[in-house]
A = this chain, B = another copy of it.
């Protein structure tokens, strides 16, 4: 019944437009009662994103599970769960992307969906970075960066009509973030190894200052 409602809704959204379609239109087409609609979806917007609640629950379970993963790598793994939801059904994902882009109300609804994923990741990272002074800042920035990287690659794929290898592109994008912050690991503040990445042309004094800070030799 849930699937029938989603299918009926999308048929109507694509033929008559999102705004012009009423919930009554949807239930009539699906051949069910109005109350059935609200048993599955709080609003007309929610029927456009029918799998996000399930995916968010899956992400939270993934992040709650025991794991030896380095924290940033783990959050990148969580982002891949969202990607899979899109790539499992490319036609639907591309249709929805076009619909969402053209209806401001849906775009705002999508922002709130994305925000919930970002919060789940930030909460997880906050826990893993609990022993760092800048843990909350670092958690928020990294969660935002992971979501932005994921969405950058996902949107390219959706714009292209679902052509090409979305996974490879998203992995590349996530690697950009993991490469920036992932190597440090949690609680490694007192560990021995220091990694300094710099350009060949960076003035030496600048590199030295960075190393002094990184190794705690700056006081």
Contact = CB atoms under 8 A, between A and B. Distances in A.
A44 interface: no
Indicate the size class of the contact surface on chain A.
35 or more
A173 B208 CA distance: 23
What DSSP secondary structure best describes chain A's contact surface? helix
A199 interface: yes
A199 B188 contact: yes
Interface string A130-171: 000010111011011101110111000000000000000000
A21 to B, nearest CB: 21
Interface string A182-215: 0110001001111111111110101110011001
24 contacts: A108-B108, A108-B111, A111-B111, A111-B112, A134-B176, A137-B152, A140-B152, A141-B176, A141-B177, A183-B202, A188-B199, A191-B200, A192-B199, A192-B200, A192-B201, A195-B196, A196-B196, A196-B197, A198-B211, A198-B215, A200-B216, A202-B215, A208-B208, A208-B211
